[in-house]
Structure 1
Amino acid sequence: MKTIQAGMLVDRPVTEVVLDEAIQRGQVRQKSGLQATSVRFVEPCLAVSFIDGSGVLLPVQHYPEFDDFDVEDFANLKVGFSGTALCHEGKDLHVSIAGMISASKPLMDMAASVIASRNGRQSSAAKAEAARANGRKGGRPRKTDVTD
């Protein structure tokens, strides 16, 4: 998993405009889909639940961030950053849930399969017109073998 160092943010005064922009960014982020509501340790995994009632089990041995954790440390893990990260204040740990999921090859393979299936069902106006045109010609043209 990639570790990102936090940068220094320059303080700027909070005005109505800045506050409105921050609220708007938060609403967009909340609609983006990934919003965990809880985390609990179910040895040997972290069970992360999402706002729609779904969840995922992530085996902690795959994540070096949790190597020095004991059962009590896992009990103190909280969901933070608007449901996008797991946080432990005592250890100053903030881990992206999306990053943890993306580190799992089987989960990413499943996600790719789901996305491909969903995208394959979508029909654009151009696809619909091409299908109608092929239908008027008697259907999709047969493939011809090219032999030299």
Structure 2
Amino acid sequence: MKTVKAKILVDQPITEAVLDEAIERGKTRLRGSLQATGVSFHQQSLTVSFEDGTGVLLPVSHYPEFDNFEDEDYASLKVGISGTALCHEEKDLLVSIAGMISASKSLMSMAASVVSSRNGRQSSAAKAEAARANGKKGGRPRKVEITQ
């Protein structure tokens, strides 16, 4: 088993440079993920809005966390934890938005389809070189059926 030694020393003094670096790391991390900006409730569904203008509609009947909620409780639901969770203070509820989306079979199927499509379009340097080499030879060789 590999042992990993902690790199962050808790007794290091906090300077302006250290704080600036931490803030920059946080901004970089925030830019790399989709953050929810709002949540609303109508017709027994939660609409979670994201910073890029997109949103997702999640029926509350699929999530047992909301079984004891009344209509007025949904009005107090807020986006928290840097846009990654839905929070309700009075009910002491904290629900991951990614977890809610991953619990939806249809949304996960769509996500898998999108990821597969994107990955299929990617070309590595080796793949591009092989395609050029095959092109110089007249293209991909035809498959020959061997009959016995």
TM-score range, shorter chain: 0.7 to 0.9
Bigger relative contact order, structure 1 or 2, given CA contacts below 8 A and separation 6+? Answer: 1
Q: Gaps spanning 5+ residues in structure 2: where?
A: 1-9
Rounded to whole Å, the distance in 1 between the matches of 2:81 and 2:28 is: 14
Larger CA deviation: 20-29 vs 41-50: 20-29
Partner Cα separation in structure 2 for residue 27 and residue 99 of structure 1:
23
CA distance in 1, matches of 2:21, 2:71: 40
- What corresponds to 2:140 in structure 1? 140
Q: Distance in 2 between matches of 1:119 and 1:39?
A: 31
Is there any run of 5+ residues in structure 1 with no aligned partner, and where?
1-11
State which structure, 1 or 2, has the greater radius of gyration over its C-alpha atoms.
2
Aligned residues: 137
- TM-score using structure 2 length: 0.82
RMSD: 2.2
Identical counterparts, % of pairs: 71
Distance in 1 of aligned mates of 2:101 and 2:42: 17
1:9 counterpart residue number = none
Task: Report the TM-score, using the length of structure 1 for normalisation.
Answer: 0.82
Which one-letter code corresponds to 1:121 in the other structure? Answer: R
Q: Indicate how the Cα distance of structure 1 residues 113 and 40 shifts in structure 2: closer, same or farther if over 3 A, else same.
A: same
Q: Secondary structure at the match of 2:61?
A: helix
Name the CA distance, whole Å, in 2 between partners of 1:68 and 1:32: 35
Matched, 1:101 2:101: yes
